[in-house]
Amino acid sequence: MVLRGYVPTSEETLQTLAALRLQSLNSDFSTHAPFPRLEELFPPHVLHARLPAPRRRTPTKCRGARLRAGLLAGGLWGQALAKQRAERDQRLRGRLREEGASTMAAIVEKWKLLQGMGRPEAMAAYVALVREWPGFGSTLFDVDLRAVRRRRGGGGGQLWQRAALTPLSPQSPVGAGPQRLWLGIGAKAVSLYKPGEPEPLDSFCYGRISSFGASDSSTFRLSVEDRDLLFETSQV
């Protein structure tokens, strides 16, 4: 779960978790110890999130059919774009290597501080840190909340609302339009999280859930009190 990004926490804690894993695998730091790749210790998406977002170029309006025809015929515009993309990708790869090296160095420094800690202690400390997240122990699914439908007392229901979703609760409105969320199935409740956020948008104890089920291979419905929630996911 940690490497897949399903434990929202700080980068400092993620580095500590990586160091604890190294201690449990290799014991005390040694330059001769086998070293896993960084992506086996630290969530790759955290490094990618540090990279600058690609800038969207505003399409240039070229006046004159002769100029447009000349650029297209000669392929100059396409060649220039390809060169820009290659240069940008090379810069991003270089930046990613730098961020990876910096993160690995920080992990190693934390590993050195764990000298003398036994494997059981390192594993226990690792689990204790992960357990600090309130959603620990839940099974998480990536879902898109597509619609919410309010149900009338007679059993009938209004049409699914796709443009403007009904808030799940006054304290935690979900907002409008399809939303990517985590659906967490826990021992006591079902919770909805915004990806990467430690606190749930809303939680439903099982006593509030009247029914649930998959209507097809990619759609999941959850009925909570007076409303139905419709999700789409490849993990049905």
pLDDT in tens, 48-95: 888 776 665 555 554 555 555 555 555 666 777 788 888 887 888 888
Question: Model confidence at 173, in pLDDT bands (50, 70, 90)?
Answer: very low
The pLDDT value given to residue 174 = 46
95-123 pLDDT per residue, tens: 889 999 999 999 999 999 999 999 999 99
Round to the nearest angstrom and report the end-to-end CA distance of the chain.
19
**Rounded mean pLDDT, 156-181:** 50
Q: Is 69 exposed, middle or buried (0-12, 13-18, 19+ CB in 10 A)?
A: exposed
CATH code 1.20.80.10 region(s) in the chain: 2-52+83-132
Output the CATH code of domain 2-52+83-132: 1.20.80.10
CATH code 2.30.29.30 region(s) in the chain: 139-153+176-232
Architecture of domain 139-153+176-232: Roll (2.30)
**CA dist 53 to 56, 83, 179, Å?**
9, 18, 21
Indicate yes or no: pTM above 0.75: no
For the cut 50, the answer to whether the pLDDT of residue 169 exceeds it is no
Average pLDDT, the chain: 81
Show Cβ contacts of residue 182 under 8 Å, excluding neighbours closer than 6 positions.
6, 140, 141, 142, 143, 192, 193, 194, 195
- Pairing type for strands 202-205 and 219-224 reads unpaired
Is the distance from CB of 46 to CB of 2 less than 8 angstroms?
no
Is the distance from CB of 183 to CB of 146 less than 8 angstroms?
no
CA distance 26 to 42: 17
The pLDDT value given to residue 67 = 52
For the cut 80, the answer to whether the pLDDT of residue 177 exceeds it is no
